[in-house]
Chain A
C-alpha cells in the first residue's frame, strides 16, 4: 500500500514536471558542430547543449553524471555516429532511461547515417588500429555534407515538432541559401591551394581534404588512434626531407608535440586547425576561420 502511494506521488510529480517543462525542443548534441547546426535550423524553437567542446577529443569522453542528467531531459539527440561516440554514448543512453532518444526512436539522429562515408575499411582487424567499421565519422569537415545533414535534420525536427513544421522549413531554406553561397566562396578562396600536400595527425581530415582537393601524404599516428612513436616519426622525417609537404595539420584537441617536433626538424609549418566550432561561434564563422588559417599557413 505504501509503495503504491509512493509511486502515485512520483507519477503526480512527473506530470507536474511535464506540464511546466518548457515547450522548446531540447537538443543534446554530441559535438559542437551539431549544436551549431541545430541552432541554425531550430532558432528560438529549440534549446541546444553540446556534450563536448572544440578542445575535447570526441573519441574519449567520460560518461559523466552531468551528461546523463542532460541526456535524460533531451527530446532529440544529434551526434556524428558511426562509432565516434561508442566509448561513452551507449552508457549515457542506457543510464538515462530516456525513451525518446534511444536508438531507432525519432529522437535519435546520427548525422553520418545521412551522407556517404569515406574510408570504409574492407578488412576489420584491430591490428590496423582503432578503425571505424562504418567509415570515417568526421563528416563535419565537408560543408557539402553538412548541407545534406541540414536537410535531414530539419525533416526530423519537423517530425518531432510538427506544430512548427513551417517555421523549420523556412529556417532550412534560409540556411541552405546562405550555406550554399558560402560553399562557393570557400571553394573560390581555396582554388590556389588545390593539390597542396598535407601531413595530418589523425586521419580526421579526409573530408576536408577531398572537398578542397588537398593531397594527404602522411599521418603522424602510425595507426589510427595509436599515439605517434619515435620510429614512425623518424621515418616521416626521412620522407619529408625527400619530398617536403606543404603543411602539417593537427586538431586543437590533439597533443601538438609530434606535429611541432616534425615542424622544427623540417621547417614545414605546423598548424592547429579547429575541427569544430568554438563556443558561441556559428558554422559560417568556424569554416571562415578554418579556411583562413589554412590559406595563411600553407606554403
Chain B
C-alpha cells in the first residue's frame, strides 16, 4: 500500500515538473544516455569476445584431450614387450624326440644280407616285434654374436643295456663373414640330401638301401666344414668337409685328414608353388685302414684297406600349392662308389686275403603326398648293383662283396597320421628284395617331439 502511494506521488511530481525542463537539460540527458548506451555496448562486446575465446579454449581443450587420449592409447599399444622375455631365455633350447616301433617280418631278420655289399655293424633291420628307436635329446643355442652350438645325444637300447651316444656336437659360425659358415665338431656330412637330416625327419622308418649299404644308414664324423652361399638370386652353395676318417665307411687312425668331401648345391623357385634343389657331392677316403664289416653268413669279419671314392647326385622337387595344406615332394639320390685295395677275412696275416676292385652304385626315388594337414602318404623304390673283381674270388665271395649278378631292390609304401606338428604315427610296408628270398615287412612307428618347436630344412 505504501509502495504504490510513493510511486503515485513521484509520478505526479515528474508530470508536474515536466514542463519545467529546459532544452539544454534534455540535450544533457540525451548525451548521458548515449554515453550509457556506448558503455553498455562496449561491455557487451567485451563479454561476447570473452565468451568466444572461452568457447574456442573449450574446443581446443577437447581436441587436446582427444590427442592425449590417442597418445595414451598409442603408448598403451606400443608398450614394449620386455616383460615377456622368458626367464630361461639364456638357457639352451631343448628338444626331445621319442621314437619307437613295432616291426614284423616274413623272413628271419637275422638272415638279412645285401649281395655285393659288406654291411657295417650298425646296418641291418630293426629287431622283430616291439622296440624302442633312438630317443634323441638336442640342446641348441647361440653361443655369442659369432657362434651357434648344438648337441644331440642319442639313447639307444642294445640288448638290454642303454647306450648314450653323441650323435652330433658342433659349433658353427653365424656371422663371421658374409655367406661363409664354418662348422666344427661332430656332425652329419652335408653330402647328399638325406644325410644331413636326422633320422626322425626322414619320410620312411628305415634308410634308403643305398644309405644302408654304403654308410650304415648315415655318414658323420669329427671334423671341420666350410660352406659358402653366393650372393645370387639362384641359390648356389659350395662347401668342403675334412674328417678324421675313423668312422665307417672309412677306418683307422689318421693323424691328419682321413676323409674329405666337397659338395655343391643349387636351387630356386619356379614360382611360389614349385621349387627345386640339385646337389652334387664327392666323398673320398684314401688309406682306409682295416675297415670292419659283416662277412657272408657272419663267418668272420671282413676287413678292407685301400682307397674309397663316392660320387653322388641328389634332386628334390616340391609342390606347395597356395591356400591349401596339400603338398608333394619328389626326391631322388644316386651314389656311385669306387674302391681299390685289399680284402681280408679276420686278419691280413692269414691266407684269406685278396686284392679288390669294387664298383657299387645305387639309387632311390620317392614321392610323398600330403593330403591335408594331418595325413601324408608316400612311395619309395630302391635299387642297387655292384661289380667286384680281385685276385681271390672265394675271399671276395666270403666277404659278401660278390653279387653274382643279383641286383637288390625294395618297394616301400607308407601312410602317416599327424595329429599335430609334434606327433606322428606311421605305418609302412616294404616288399624287400635285398636278397633273393624276398621279404614282406611291416612297421608301425611313432615319433613324438617335445620342447622347442623345430625348424625343418628343405
Question: A residues touching B (Cβ–Cβ < 8 Å)?
Answer: 10, 14, 17, 21, 53, 55-56, 60, 62-70, 72-73, 83, 86-91, 93-100, 102-105, 112-117, 120, 126, 129-130, 133-135, 142, 144-145, 147-148, 225-227, 252-255
Question: B residues touching A (Cβ–Cβ < 8 Å)?
Answer: 73-74, 76-81, 84, 86, 142, 145, 148, 172-181, 227-237, 265-269, 272, 275-277, 318, 320, 322-325, 327, 372-374, 419-422, 450, 453-458
Contacts of A83 in B (CB 8 A): 453
Q: Contact: A65 with B84, CB < 8 Å? A: no
Q: Contact: A145 with B77, CB < 8 Å? A: yes
Contacts of A135 in B (CB 8 A): 81, 84
Q: Contact: B322 with A115, CB < 8 Å? A: no
Contacts of B234 in A (CB 8 A): 69
Q: Contact: A226 with B323, CB < 8 Å? A: no
Instruction: Check A116/B235 contact, CB under 8 A, given A99-B176, A227-B374, A254-B323.
Output: no
Q: List 25 A-B contacts (CB under 8 A).
A: A10-B228, A56-B322, A62-B456, A64-B269, A64-B318, A64-B458, A65-B235, A66-B233, A67-B269, A68-B229, A69-B230, A72-B231, A87-B456, A94-B181, A95-B229, A97-B228, A97-B229, A98-B175, A113-B80, A116-B78, A135-B84, A144-B73, A148-B77, A252-B323, A253-B322
- Tell me how many residue pairs across A and B have CB atoms closer than 8 Å: 170
Instruction: Select from chain A the residue with minimum beta-carbon distance to B373.
Output: A227
- Out of B145, B176, B268, which one reaches A65, CB within 8 Å? B268
Q: Contact: A116 with B231, CB < 8 Å? A: no
8 closest Cβ pairs, A-B complex: A65-B267, A99-B175, A55-B322, A65-B235, A66-B269, A69-B235, A97-B181, A64-B275
* A86→B178 CA distance, assembly (Å): 23
Instruction: Check A117/B84 contact, CB under 8 A, given A53-B322, A62-B320, A97-B228.
Output: yes
Q: Contact: A148 with B323, CB < 8 Å? A: no
* A88→B454 CA distance, assembly (Å): 9
Q: Contact: A126 with B235, CB < 8 Å? A: no
Contacts of B76 in A (CB 8 A): 116
Instruction: Check A147/B422 contact, CB under 8 A, given A64-B269, A97-B181, A134-B81.
Output: no
* A227→B78 CA distance, assembly (Å): 32
- Out of A10, A17, A105, A255, which one reaches B325, CB within 8 Å? A255
Instruction: Check A53/B272 contact, CB under 8 A, given A97-B174, A99-B178.
Output: yes
Q: Contact: B267 with A64, CB < 8 Å? A: yes
Contacts of A147 in B (CB 8 A): 74
Instruction: Select from chain A the residue with minimum beta-carbon distance to B318.
Output: A62
- Out of B79, B236, B277, B420, which one reaches A126, CB within 8 Å? B420
Classify the secondary structure of A's interface with B: loop
CB distance from A24 to the nearest CB of B (A): 14
Q: Contact: B174 with A99, CB < 8 Å? A: yes
* A73→B76 CA distance, assembly (Å): 36
Q: Contact: A91 with B456, CB < 8 Å? A: yes
Q: Contact: B458 with A63, CB < 8 Å? A: yes
Q: Contact: A130 with B268, CB < 8 Å? A: no
Contacts of B324 in A (CB 8 A): 255
Contacts of A91 in B (CB 8 A): 455-458
* A253→B320 CA distance, assembly (Å): 12
Q: Contact: B268 with A134, CB < 8 Å? A: no
Q: Contact: B275 with A66, CB < 8 Å? A: yes
Contacts of A99 in B (CB 8 A): 174-178
CB distance from A118 to the nearest CB of B (A): 10
Q: Contact: A87 with B455, CB < 8 Å? A: yes
* A10→B177 CA distance, assembly (Å): 12
- Out of B78, B142, B232, B453, which one reaches A148, CB within 8 Å? B78
Contacts of B265 in A (CB 8 A): 65
Q: Contact: B325 with A130, CB < 8 Å? A: no
CB distance from A109 to the nearest CB of B (A): 14
* A96→B422 CA distance, assembly (Å): 26
Max chain B C-beta neighbours (<10 A), residue from A112, A114, A116, A134: A116
Contacts of B177 in A (CB 8 A): 97, 99
Q: Contact: A134 with B267, CB < 8 Å? A: no
Q: Contact: A148 with B420, CB < 8 Å? A: no
* A64→B457 CA distance, assembly (Å): 8
CB distance from A62 to the nearest CB of B (A): 6
Q: Contact: A148 with B422, CB < 8 Å? A: no
Max chain A C-beta neighbours (<10 A), residue from B230, B266, B374: B230
Q: Contact: A94 with B148, CB < 8 Å? A: yes
- Out of A133, A142, A148, A225, which one reaches B421, CB within 8 Å? A225
* A53→B175 CA distance, assembly (Å): 29
Contacts of B266 in A (CB 8 A): 65
CB distance from B94 to the nearest CB of A (A): 13
Instruction: Select from chain A the residue with minimum beta-carbon distance to B326.
Output: A255
Q: Contact: A97 with B318, CB < 8 Å? A: no
Q: Contact: B179 with A56, CB < 8 Å? A: no
Q: Contact: A98 with B458, CB < 8 Å? A: no
* A253→B231 CA distance, assembly (Å): 31
Q: Contact: B267 with A86, CB < 8 Å? A: no
Instruction: Check A65/B458 contact, CB under 8 A, given A87-B453, A105-B175.
Output: yes
Q: Contact: B178 with A88, CB < 8 Å? A: no
Q: Contact: A120 with B458, CB < 8 Å? A: no
Q: Contact: A56 with B272, CB < 8 Å? A: yes
Q: Contact: A227 with B229, CB < 8 Å? A: no
